[in-house]
Structure 1
Amino acid sequence: MKTMIKAIAVGLICASPASAEDPAITFDYDGTFEDATFAVEDAIVSKGLVIDYRSRTGDMLERTRADVGSDVTIFDAADVFLFCSAVVSRQVMEADPANIVYCPYSIYVADQAGKVTIGFPNYPDGPMQAVEDLLTEIVEEATSF
C-alpha cells in the first residue's frame, strides 16, 4: 500500500512513477538546463542545506568521450548536486548505521536533446523514506514557478 501511495504521489507531481526496480525518481522540468540548475541550487540552499559539491558530469563525459573510444554524446548538459542534512542523516543512521552508504544525498539535472530532467536515487523502503521525502520537497520547490 505504501509503495502504491508513493507512486501515485510522485506521478501527480509530473514524475515518472517509481518502483523498486527504478534507479531514479525523475521529474520533467519545463525550462532550460541553466534555469533548472539554478532552481535546484536555490531550493537546496533555501532548506538551510550546504551543497558540498557540484559534479559537472555531463562536461566530464563529453570531455573524455574520444579518449574512451566513443562517439556518443549522452547529455547536452548534466550536473549532480551533492549535499547532506544533519537532521535527516541522524534520523536514518540512528535507525540503521549502514545507511551511511547513502550519504551524501544527490539530485541531478540533465538535458538530453532539449528535454530537461531533475531526479534523485530511489532509496529502499524504511528509514530512507525520510531522505526521499526531503529530496522530493526540494525538487517540487525547484519545479514550481
Structure 2
Amino acid sequence: MSMFRTAAALLMLSATASLAQGPVLYETEGDFADIAGAVEDAIINAGLVIDNTSHVGAMLNRTKADVGGEKDIYTEADVFSFCSAVVSRKVMERDPHNIQSCPYGIFVYELADAPGKIVVGHRDYAAEDLPEVQDLVAGIVDNALN
C-alpha cells in the first residue's frame, strides 16, 4: 500500500472514531415549539446567524409511507446549523481539517412515544478535541434551557 493510501486510511479511521462519539443530550419537559424557539433565540442572542433549519421530523413524517416506514419516530424534530467566525478561525488555524465540524449544529426533538419530553443536543465537540466549539454550543443550550 502506498504511503499516501496508508495515510488516507489512517485519517479515515481517525475521523470515523471521532464521529462515532455519542451526542451530548439535555432533557427537559415542555412544548416543542417553545423550546425550539428558545434554542433559536439563544443562537441569535449569541450574535450568530442560523444558516439553516432542517425540519427533520416533518420530512420523516411526510415520507414515512413512501419509504416503507413502520412507525412515527418524532412528533417534531429540528436541527439548527450555524457557525462562529471567531471560534471557527481559532480551531481551523490550529488544524485546517477542523473544517469538517462547521457548521455547528444543535438539534431539538420530541419522540412520538414520549410527548412533552424534549431533547436538545449536539455533537460531542470536546471528544473531537474542539473544546472551544463545545463551550460555544453548550453555552447556547444552557442559555436556551435556563
Considering only CA atoms, is the larger Rg found in Structure 1 or Structure 2? 2
For residues 125 and 51 of structure 1, the distance between their equivalents in structure 2, rounded to whole angstroms, comes to 22
Where 2:43 maps in the other structure, the secondary structure is: helix
Aligned position for 2:136: 134
TM-score (norm 1): 0.82
Aligned position for 1:75: 74
Number of equivalent positions: 124
For residues 38 and 81 of structure 2, the distance between their equivalents in structure 1, rounded to whole angstroms, comes to 15
Identity %: 48
CA RMSD of aligned residues (A): 1.3
Aligned position for 2:96: 97
For residues 21 and 49 of structure 1, the distance between their equivalents in structure 2, rounded to whole angstroms, comes to 27
Question: Which runs of at least 4 in structure 1 moved beyond 4 Å after TM superposition?
Answer: none
Change (3 A) 1:54 1:125: closer
Aligned position for 2:120: 118
Partner letter of residue 72 of structure 1? K
- Encode CA deviations 1:15-43: one digit per residue, 9 max, x unaligned: xxxxx964210001231100111100010
Instruction: Give structure 1 stretches of 5+ with no counterpart.
Output: 1-19
Change (3 A) 1:116 1:134: same
Partner letter of residue 122 of structure 1? D
Where 2:66 maps in the other structure, the secondary structure is: helix
Partner letter of residue 49 of structure 1? L
TM-score (norm 2): 0.81
Instruction: Give structure 2 stretches of 5+ with no counterpart.
Output: 1-18
